[in-house]
Every structure is written in C-alpha cells, then in structure tokens.
Structure 1
C-alpha cells in the first residue's frame, strides 16, 4: 500500500471516529443549554454561523468541516462539566472487550472525576461502551467516554449465535417534519421566556406591579432581541446586522432624518368640523397593536442593490424607491401617500409603493400609477419576522385573557422598541436596518389606510385618520369591524383630546 493510499485510509478512519464520537442533536442542545451558552457564542467559538449551530442542534444538518472538530471538542469538554442525567446515561459494564454488551448484574463503572471537577484523563484506549478510543477514564481504570459522548447502540455487535433480528431503525423524519417540530418547540420556548421574565421582575420587586413593569420595559430591547434570535432558529434566512447602506438611508446628523418618506397620515375630512355645531355622531377607533401586525411586511434580506426605472419593482424584492406620485383627488378618503404637500419626486418604501400600485390597479382604479425613477432593493420575504410576530401575538392574547396588564405592557414595549431601534440607535447595536424600520412603519400606515377604505365601502364617512392606529368614522362601526382588544379587532379610543371616544361634529362652512 502506497503512502498516499495509507493516508486516505487513515482519513476515512478518522472520519468514522469523529462521526462515532458526535452526540445526538438533542444532546448537543442539552449541553449548550446546561452551560448557559447562546448559539451566537458557540458559533463564534467554532467559526460557523449561528444558524448552522441551530441546524446541528435540531438535526436538520450534521456537523461538517471546518467547524466540526472544534464543535466536537467543545461538546466533549461540556460533557465533562455537565454529564447527562443518570437516567439518560447508557449503562457501562466491566468487560474485557470494548463494545461488547455487559453481562446482566455486572457492576456499572462511572466516569472518574478529579479534584478540579474535570473528568480524569490518561492514555487513550477503546471505550468500554463504544470501542472508540478515548483518553477519559472510568472509576475502575478502564477508558470510558464521559456523559453521553458515545453511542453504544451503533457500535455494540450482536452476540454470537443470536438469531434475534436487529430492530428496524426508527423512521427518519423529513426536513419539513423536523422544521415544523422545531418551529413548534421554538415558539413554546420563547413564550416561556416571556413568562419567566415577568416572574423574575415580580419577585425582584417583591410583588410591586408598577416597579416590575418599569423594570420589564427597561429590559425590553435585549429581551426582544433574544426572542428574535430564538425565533430565527429554524429559519431559512440569516440576517445581516450591518449591511452597507445607500446615502438616502443615512442621517446627515443626529437631529436630521434620512430621505425616506414613510407616508404617515394626518387626515381630517374637509367637509366636517368640530368647531361647527351639529349632531353627526363620530366614534374615534383605536387599532390594536398596529406595529405588531406590521411585522408581517416584505423586508429585503440582503444588501440593497441599485436599479433604474422599473427594474427594481418586483413582487419578490423590497427596499426603497424614488417615485413621482400621481395626484390624489378622492373627496372622502385620505391620500395613501400621507400628509405630504410638497410636489415632485420622493423616496418611499416598498410598502407604500405596493399600496399605490394596488390602488392604481383594476380592482380599485383610484389613481394613476406612480412613475418609478430608481430603486435600492434586494430579494425579500414577507415572513422574516413572522415567527416573532406570532410569538408576541400569542403571548399578548394570553395576557388579555388573564387580565395581565404587566405582561401586556412588557410585550408592547418589546415590539415597539424593537422596531424603533432597528435603525440608527444607540440603544440597539445588534441591528442596523433603517430600511426595515421605514418599511414596517409604512406597512402600519398602509394597513390603517385599508381599514379606512373598508369603512368607506361600508357606507361610513372617514372623518379622520392619524398615525398608525387612529381612525374616526361616522355610523355603526361595529357592523364593519369586530370589537375587542385582539390584533384583528378595534376598540373605542379615549384620550384627553376633544375628538375622543364618541363625539359629535357639524358640517364645515364652504
């Protein structure tokens, strides 16, 4: 055998040894969690992406070079410090041949631990359980992998003369099945994190609800970022924290804004006035959790790329666009471009452009399509933040059902601060995506415009539309919108303003 062939054989044997030593996915997850390490920490130490670590832990993929050896070394070290619970360990028995099942009733050696708290090591020899060489020792002096670092079932040979057929291997779940199971587990775990945080702060505040709420609001940003990381565990896309940005998305100074117009509305119907006496009944409505719903928006995933004309207008892309909007002439509905009185081209988000194009289409026919001059876009998905949205929505619904005002305020602080700090903010250094922030804001305004249109189509007059969540209408609004506190419901908005709750107006002088 030539030297080259010998090296190839040794390489294959080393591959087999590494595969045999690698713990099962569930054990990989257990060891990391037992050590209190985040996926990001493991990824940085091993030299892979955080999503790769998540895939290794849920079994979507197997560890591969170049990070596999470092990952295995980390797991073996963690297994010394955090051995598997006794009920989960595979019994090891004294035997003269490695990998042979122990006789019934024989003693079960344990891992030998030194005074420093680490497993005792010595000359490598075949492990009692799996036969793979290991330097770690058992209490009887034999070599033995610590914790659950070996897989005896895969290495234990069948006893000589045995006619019992080997058990059929368990069916391997498909990738969609693994992903669905992992997503369900991740959502349950993240929901538990919310309850755990509330419990911690209530204990720390000795039951003082106000103090606990203030503490939860204060920690909302790091907590929601942790939730975001956890909900991304089974995702197909990774996110770039600091992509290069075009100048239009950069603030000239701390006190100045960038060039993106979010289409924020401030509409008041010109035919009606609070100052005019009258008996027209109006109800101020509040859209529940408007920003939370707006997390379902088309967000660009990668670095924004420049294009001219309509080349950047694509249903599967998102970003910002320089457009010249067409005039808005509808007498009873707010301008979908918001409270803008300056003519000429304007940079808008993809959420605003989608709304304008939809309203220019055959279904609505409310205006002419805008002229698109140039765009900064990348490939996009509407579901990038959907797992986070669903987790927070479910927790919010539970808090409403239990009349848990502390958790409600905590959740509101998390999603609102998550959005407001994902641009250029000193309060959140983990994401710098002003394009996402603008798109989500614009999506909330577009969602509100859709509700105004629905009210108008049902015969109600839209008296006012402001911000992300305020809609004033005449008539029986309950026939149009469900009433309640859920994200798909509306409730009466009460404030110190004159136009609050249920009030009356008159016709404006013309």
Structure 2
C-alpha cells in the first residue's frame, strides 16, 4: 500500500476516534468556558461561524465536516487541560428519604477512643444499646444509641421525619456550655430555597449582552489592527477598513444572529420582478425615492425666505429596523399577501396625491398606472389612508410576493453598529465612525445581486431597507409640516429643507434621533434664501 493511502487511512481512523470520543453539548460548552474562549475565537480557529458553534453547544446540531475534525481536536486538547471534575459522592439517605447532612469539620479536640465509649449491650428485640439514654442530637428524642463520638443518635431511620430539621448535623461536641434542652414544639421542616433560575427573557438578555460585547470587540480589534499595520496613518487605516467592510460586516451579521430566534433563507428562488434583466438595467421594484421641491418656492425667484438644509443622521442604519421577509417569497393574488406579519413586494395601483405642500409618499414618480412597491412603502400608504392621517385613499393591491416576516431581524446588528458609532462620536474617533458607516452602507447595497458579496442574495431586503429610509424621512417632513414649518425640499434618504425655526421641532446633534445642518454641498453653510412664486 502506498504512503499516500496509509495517510488517508490514518486520517479516517483519527476521525473515527474523535467521533467515538465526541463529548455532549454541555461538555462542549464547559470546555470552552473553562478555557476562557469566546465563541468567536473558537469559530475563527475551526473555520465556521459563531452561530454554528452556538448550535453545537446547545445540541441543536452536531459537529459536521469540514469543521468537525478541527473542533473535536480542540475539545480533546481542552479536555486534557481542563478535565471534568470528579462527581461528588452522594450523601447518605435515610429510609425516610431525608438526606443526612455531612458532618462539620472536627475541632482539634480528639475523638474518644474505643475504650472510652460506653459498653455495648443488646435489647430483647436485638437492637444494640450503646450507653445511657440521652436526647438524640438529630431529633431530640431520648435514645440509648450513640454516634462514633459518643453522642446520642438514632440509627438508621428511627428519627421521625417530622422532627428532623435541615440544620441537624453531626457536629463536634461543645464543651463550653451544656447542650440546650430539646424544644417542646420543634420547628417544622424548612425546605432549602432553590437557586433562582433566570427566566427565558433574562437568559436571552444575558446572552445578547455577551454577544454584543464580543461583536464590539470585533470592531475595535479591526480598527487597532489596521492602525498598527498603517503605523498610525489614520487615512491609510480607514481606507483599509473600508476595503474590508463587506466581509467584516457579514461576519458581524453572523455573530449577532447567535441569539436570534429566526432562521432565514440567504439564497431563495426569486420571482422575475426581482431579477435585473442585465447588469445595467434595474429590476421592476419602485423604492419611492423622493425628489420633492415645493411648487410655490423657487431658488431662482428673488426673495428673503430663509431655508435650512437639514441632514438626517445615519438614515440607512436607522432603516435596518423594518419588516423583512425571512423565508422564500410566495405568490398571492389580490390582497391575500397583505398581512401585518408578512413582508415582501406588492403590485399596486396608487390613489392620487392631492397635497402639493407635502412630498408624495411614492416619491418622484412620472409614469402613471400600476407599479411594484416594497412592504415599507405599502405600510406607509396604508397608514396615511387610515383615520389618523386621512391624507390618501388606500391603494389597490393586485398581487404580492411575500413571506413570514419580523421587524427585529436586523435589530441586533443595528444596535451593535449604532453603539459603536455613538462611542466613536463621543471619542471624536473619525476612523471607527467611517468604518461603521462603510459597514452598514455596503451591507445594504451588496445584499442584492452583487459580485462583492456572495454570502447573501436578498434584493427584496435591499429594496425594503431603502424604502424604509425614504419612509422615515417622509415622517420627518410631515412632523415639520405639522409643527408649522414649510417643507421646501426633500431628497434622497436624508435631506430635508425647511423654512422656520427647525430647532423647536428637531433635536440638533449627530445622534440617530437628531438632525444636523447639512454641510459639504453647493450651499456650504446649509442655509440659503428662496423666493415665492405665484400660486
């Protein structure tokens, strides 16, 4: 047999030995925690995702190739370093089922010798009598039987359970003071208080906190790594971080899924409406991108109406909080696919918009008739057609492609990135801030049909998140209008131009819930004047 075949046989035998040794899920968890390793560290060493390691430790799945061999070798080595503790010997149990408490450690006082023990005698019923009758140290009832230290103690199960107290233990004799007399009415048995087990929400919160701490470490670790590699050159480090943003955010996404309750489909079969006819042509989904300019005001008309261009901070990051379909899209006719717990895309005929002073929630659309929109846009239209707003008639839904959905699918990822962004802003850390922005923006832009991200293909998610950003901006415009501001323009995901005291409506700052004056455009100051045109 050739040497190559022998190597193959040895590899198979080693795999079989490891498989035969495979520890239980609880032992897998114990070994990792005993070594002080995180799931992220084990996943990186084994070559799998953090969620996979979590599944192996919970018993949801068993280790499978290609990472199984490396994982079992790691556990084998950890077991040699951290062997399982020997099982504790069971406490002796009386026939009544009441466990005897173990003896307390003896004092330096020597135990009585055999010569000092009372003489042994037998009763007519055959039981051994070892000395003068005295109260039993366990139950207080007088008995002639003795323990090895000479004190009175009922043998076997002769103590009555109702008289046994949890504190009854064979303690060393006390010579400083005489033993107290047995109480006339012994206290009832007190059951030991069990350790409080955390509830499921508490366990989920604890697990989520641990996962967030680990994912935060991934972000800070990447920044430090690139800064060291760039020898402190901030610009070079940021460029390197932007280049690695896609694989990094996908790893972060997988890490945040460790405590998630929903399984998702990364590569579902998609209807034709979600496929691009060619690389240069878009698919058929209309995202409702706004490009609104108030018809009664003009930049060219002379006037002195002062306008402020506002910027909504991290609009795409906030839009990760949206209803996303988690499974394969299913086709429905009419409004059968419209449900609060479902999400996807819908073919609708919209009602006309009769409010020129407000942006159209469908965006700057020129072609009339039916169109495919996302669930985020449909939810906005349905809200505006309800009794609270009453701004538009409900759209007519012709057909839908939807799946069961959740609003919290990307919430863990959003919270991790938002926390990292907040910390970076507080520390004036422009490198981490730019890195985080690159991660969430590239995560959204490449989750469709992209050659830059092969780990997921959900163009429906991409469209829904884009539409959610536009819907969020529309909500800010409506809030400004209701507060008495004039909405002059609304464009893209984050640009809102208003006339009036905007600081009475929006908090100023760089936080997710705040607005700031837009900088860096043609109007560098973010403030300008417009004129009013004839109505």
Fold match by TM threshold 0.5: yes
- CA-CA distance at 1:238 after TM superposition: 1.9
Cα RMSD of the aligned pairs, angstroms, is: 2.9
Pick the aligned partner of 2:29 from 25, 30, 36: 25
1:360 aligns with 2:353: no
- Preserved CA contact (<8 Å) 1:186 1:230: yes
Instruction: Decide whether aligned partners of structure 1 residues 345 and 160 sit closer, same or farther in structure 2, where only a CA change above 3 A counts.
Output: closer
Name the structure 1 match of 2:485: 460
- CA-CA distance at 1:52 after TM superposition: 5.9
* Counterpart Cα distance in 2 of 1:445 and 1:21: 46
1:440-451 equivalence runs, <5 A? 440-451=465-476
- CA-CA distance at 1:239 after TM superposition: 2.1
1:399 aligns with 2:424: yes
* Counterpart Cα distance in 2 of 1:250 and 1:319: 14
- CA-CA distance at 1:447 after TM superposition: 0.2
Name the structure 1 match of 2:290: 265
* Counterpart Cα distance in 2 of 1:410 and 1:51: 24
| Structure 1 gaps, min length 5 | 1-16, 44-49, 84-144
- CA-CA distance at 1:508 after TM superposition: 2.0
Give the secondary-structure state (helix, strand or coil) at the position aligned to 2:403.
strand
| Structure 2 gaps, min length 5 | 1-20, 94-98, 104-191
- Preserved CA contact (<8 Å) 1:263 1:336: yes
Name the structure 1 match of 2:436: 411
* Counterpart Cα distance in 2 of 1:28 and 1:390: 27
* Counterpart Cα distance in 1 of 2:264 and 2:195: 35
* Counterpart Cα distance in 1 of 2:331 and 2:25: 49
Instruction: Decide whether aligned partners of structure 1 residues 296 and 316 sit closer, same or farther in structure 2, where only a CA change above 3 A counts.
Output: same
- CA-CA distance at 1:36 after TM superposition: 4.6
1:278 aligns with 2:292: no
- CA-CA distance at 1:22 after TM superposition: 5.3
- CA-CA distance at 1:25 after TM superposition: 1.9
* Counterpart Cα distance in 1 of 2:67 and 2:218: 27
Instruction: Decide whether aligned partners of structure 1 residues 169 and 62 sit closer, same or farther in structure 2, where only a CA change above 3 A counts.
Output: farther
1:303 aligns with 2:328: yes
Name the structure 1 match of 2:43: 37
Instruction: Decide whether aligned partners of structure 1 residues 157 and 169 sit closer, same or farther in structure 2, where only a CA change above 3 A counts.
Output: farther
- CA-CA distance at 1:486 after TM superposition: 0.4
Pick the aligned partner of 2:270 from 245, 249, 269: 245
* Counterpart Cα distance in 2 of 1:281 and 1:32: 55
* Counterpart Cα distance in 2 of 1:257 and 1:63: 40
* Counterpart Cα distance in 2 of 1:393 and 1:458: 28
Name the structure 2 match of 1:325: 350
- CA-CA distance at 1:419 after TM superposition: 0.3
Pick the aligned partner of 1:487 from 508, 512, 534: 512
Q: Deviations over 1:314-370 (max 9, x none)?
A: 000000000000111102101000000100000000000000010000000001110
- CA-CA distance at 1:179 after TM superposition: 1.5
* Counterpart Cα distance in 2 of 1:469 and 1:34: 35
Instruction: Decide whether aligned partners of structure 1 residues 358 and 150 sit closer, same or farther in structure 2, where only a CA change above 3 A counts.
Output: same
* Counterpart Cα distance in 2 of 1:273 and 1:390: 40
Name the structure 2 match of 1:54: 54
More deviation in 69-78 or 220-229? Answer: 69-78
1:78 aligns with 2:74: yes
- CA-CA distance at 1:191 after TM superposition: 1.0
1:338 aligns with 2:342: no
Q: Deviations over 1:469-506 (max 9, x none)?
A: 00000000000000000010000002332486111110
Name the structure 1 match of 2:446: 421
- Preserved CA contact (<8 Å) 2:40 2:255: no
Give the secondary-structure state (helix, strand or coil) at the position aligned to 1:323.
strand
Instruction: Decide whether aligned partners of structure 1 residues 20 and 509 sit closer, same or farther in structure 2, where only a CA change above 3 A counts.
Output: closer
* Counterpart Cα distance in 2 of 1:494 and 1:391: 27
- CA-CA distance at 1:42 after TM superposition: 4.7
- Preserved CA contact (<8 Å) 1:23 1:149: no
Instruction: Decide whether aligned partners of structure 1 residues 35 and 315 sit closer, same or farther in structure 2, where only a CA change above 3 A counts.
Output: closer
* Counterpart Cα distance in 2 of 1:35 and 1:507: 62
Instruction: Decide whether aligned partners of structure 1 residues 372 and 39 sit closer, same or farther in structure 2, where only a CA change above 3 A counts.
Output: farther
- Preserved CA contact (<8 Å) 2:91 2:102: no
1:174-185 equivalence runs, <5 A? 174-185=199-210
- CA-CA distance at 1:175 after TM superposition: 3.1
- Preserved CA contact (<8 Å) 2:46 2:71: no
1:10-21 equivalence runs, <5 A? none
* Counterpart Cα distance in 2 of 1:286 and 1:40: 44
